[in-house]
Structure formats: C-alpha cells, structure tokens
Chain A
Amino acid sequence: KAGVTQTPRYLIKTRGQQVTLSCSPISGHRSVSWYQQTPGQGLQFLFEYFSETQRNKGNFPGRFSGRQFSNSRSEMNVSTLELGDSALYLCASSPGTSGDFTDTQYFGPGTRLTVL
C-alpha cells in the first residue's frame, strides 16, 4: 500500500497570512490525526478526523482548524499566522476503529512551515 503523503513539503508564509496543508492517508484508513512538532514542545496533538467529523481535539487555539473529505483526505488550516506557528506539521493515519488512539498510527513526511 502507498504510505501517507502530505503536500506541500515546505511552505514559507508571513505573519497574519493563512495556510492550508493537505494529507492523504493510507488507502482504507479512515482516521487522520494532525500533530505539531517543534524543538521546544516536541510532538503535540492538534486534532483527529474520522469519517469527515472531528472526533478528538488537542489544546490548540481556534486558529487551527481542519476538515476531512469523503475519501478520507484531510486538510488543516491555520489562520492569522504567528511566528510561533513555525513547525513541522505531521499527519498520521490509522484505521481509526478503536477511537482511543490504540490503533497503530502511520506518519506522513510532514510539511515544514516557516512563518516570517
């Protein structure tokens, strides 16, 4: 099976702009989770989508949002970008049947976002 893919791989934006990142899960997987990775905070959970619905949410402000399409592809949007949003954004796909993150999660290569 093809692995998890993410586009774009690199993005440079300026403060105040918004950005949309895309994630295509492994075929047959219905859950897509998003994580932010920074040197200081490590890997932090943003949210999870399952069957086009946000099922779980981490502790991030409302500027971070997402959606999932009927083919399980997911997008993440960040509005009003801040310097601190510079990070590697990773998505992970899983079958999602457990609903409690005990399914194996497979990560994509990430999108490196730089906010200037």
Chain B
Amino acid sequence: GENVEQHPSTLSVQEGDSAVIKCTYSDSASNYFPWYKQELGKRPQLIIDIRSNVGEKKDQRIAVTLNKTAKHFSLHITETQPEDSAVYFCAVGGGADGLTFGKGTHLIIQP
C-alpha cells in the first residue's frame, strides 16, 4: 500500500515568516494530494489540494507544489499569522486504500 512520510513533525516560525512542510509518497499511481489543517479538538479541514496534472497551486497565502518524478509535494504558508497555529496533515489519494495521511506537522507561530 501507499506510504507517506511527512517532515518536520514540529515547526516553529516567527509571525510573518514563511513555513514549509514536505511530504513524500511511494505509489507513483497516486494522483490526488490534499492538505488538511486540524486545530485542537476540531475536525480536519481541507485547506488546499492538488491533482497530478498540475505542478503548483496557490490560494492567497497558501501554496502547494508537486514533483511527481521525485514523488514529493510541499505546503508553503507565507506571512504566517497566529491563527495558522495548528497540526497540518498531508494526504495522498488515487487508489482503493482511502486517503493515506502523513503523521502531521505541529506548526507553532511565535509572536
């Protein structure tokens, strides 16, 4: 089955700086790559996703890049704000095993 590695597990950045979270996957047939944000005690919420026919997608301060050859994709958050503090999960879809999730990154925004 699919295997997803996510790094780092914890990321602390100063407010206003950028944050980058990276994920690698194993199955070259995978073709859907969403990112979810989960605040403490809340449900995972989709923040951005990308499909394999696109290399980059941007939505205001959030962007995702995909390198299918290297089998990795990254989440970029610019101009970080206190409300960006949360756990971020990457996920991979495109097969019969449901979405396969990374272990999560705890993003801490320092004031």
- On A, residues with C-beta under 8 Å from B are 4, 33, 35, 42-46, 48, 56, 58-59, 90, 92, 100-102, 104-110
Q: A43-B89, A105-B34, A109-B42 are in contact. List 8 more A-B contacts (CB 8 A).
A: A4-B43, A33-B98, A45-B97, A45-B99, A45-B100, A48-B98, A56-B96, A56-B98
Of B1, B44, B51, B103, which is within 8 A of A90 by CB?
Answer: B44
Known: A42-B104, A45-B100. A102 touches B46 (CB 8 A): no
Interface positions of B from 22 to 44, Cβ below 8 Å from A = 31-32, 34, 36, 42-44
Known: A42-B102, A102-B32. A108 touches B43 (CB 8 A): yes
| CB-defined A-B contacts under 8 Å, sample of 30 | A4-B43, A33-B98, A35-B99, A42-B89, A42-B102, A42-B103, A42-B104, A43-B89, A43-B99, A45-B97, A45-B98, A56-B98, A58-B97, A90-B43, A100-B94, A100-B95, A101-B94, A101-B97, A101-B99, A102-B31, A102-B51, A102-B93, A102-B94, A104-B46, A104-B49, A106-B46, A107-B43, A107-B45, A108-B43, A109-B43
